[in-house]
Amino acid sequence: MLEILQIPVLEDNYVYLLHEPGSGATAAVDPAVAGPVLEALDARGWRLGHVLNTHHHGDHVGGNLELKAATGCTIVGAAGDRHRIPGIDVALKDGEEFRLGSASARMLDVPGHTSGHVAFWFEDDAALFCGDTLFALGCGRLFEGSAEQMWRSLERLRALPAETKVFCAHEYTQANARFAVTIEPGNVALRERVERVEALRREGAATVPSILSEELATNPFLRPESPEIRARLGLPGVPEVEVFAEIRRRKDVFRG
């Protein structure tokens, strides 16, 4: 089983170190900066072999070249985004495998936030590293893709096993929760989750990772079939993607 270390960096980013103890293989997911990653590696005696990038934004790839210079690591990203991933060595296509010692990940194309966004799904560890596609109680903004693309991506992720741990790249949960309750205020599970999130943040604790089953029950972006959401948005009987698009539009202008 993978050892997963969560490293908070910048204002609200998370970098993840994945360590496969049998082989000693170690990878960093979305290193925004290099310094804290190198410190964590040194503290544990781990050697960085790979960087996994979900997309090209600077707060996900900013540490690539420094880490490569310091460790000689191999940088892995999407084939379709190879021109925007600094230092990329291995360009994977949708469905291709990445191996980290005895651990194995499937790369999934999940465009919407960016046109080349991907996720890494470690099935045996029930661990999903999804960058900015899916957040705890939210999803990423549509900077380069369409609502249709993002909804197809989210459908793909919500079909994963319910016990999947969702390792997203930002601590946005508290802000997402304030929006979510405006969309589905009658959702008891959501209101209970908001209370837990508020308590965790008061203690300075992380709300990530979340569990996919929890997202399916409370995250409005994964729930366009909800009768309450449809009624609240005035969108009965329309395709799910249209409901999703309206939720995303409302979140873009939300100032709660």
170 is catalytic: yes
Burial (Cβ within 10 Å: 0-12, 13-18, ≥19) of residue 217 = middle
β partners of residue 27: 18, 50
19 is catalytic: no
Both structure tokens of 191: 């209101």
Of the residues 57, 109, 117, 125, only one is catalytic, namely 57
CA atoms within 13 A of residue 154's CA, in its CB half-sphere: 33
| Omega within 30 of 0 (cis) for the link into 239 | no
Of the residues 59, 81, 109, 125, only one is catalytic, namely 59
Q: How far apart are CA 22 and CA 5, in angstroms?
A: 16
Of the residues 30, 113, 117, 125, only one is catalytic, namely 113
Of the residues 19, 56, 117, 170, only one is catalytic, namely 170
Both structure tokens of 133: 């596609």
The annotation places the binding site at 55, 57, 59-60, 113, 132, 170
Q: How far apart are CA 236 and CA 129, in angstroms?
A: 33
The annotation places the binding site for Zn(2+) at 55, 57, 59-60, 113, 132, 170
DSSP letters, 174-200, are HHHHHHHHHH-TT-HHHHHHHHHHHHH
Of the residues 30, 81, 125, 132, only one is catalytic, namely 132
42 is catalytic: no
Both structure tokens of 77: 């990203």
12 is catalytic: no
Tell me the backbone φ, ψ of residue 218, rounded to 5 degrees. -135, -20
Of the residues 19, 50, 60, 117, only one is catalytic, namely 60
Q: Angle at which helices 35-44 and 64-71 pack, to 10 degrees? A: 40
113 is catalytic: yes
Q: How far apart are CA 208 and CA 108, in angstroms?
A: 21
Of the residues 55, 56, 117, 125, only one is catalytic, namely 55
**Active site members:** 55, 57, 59-60, 113, 132, 170
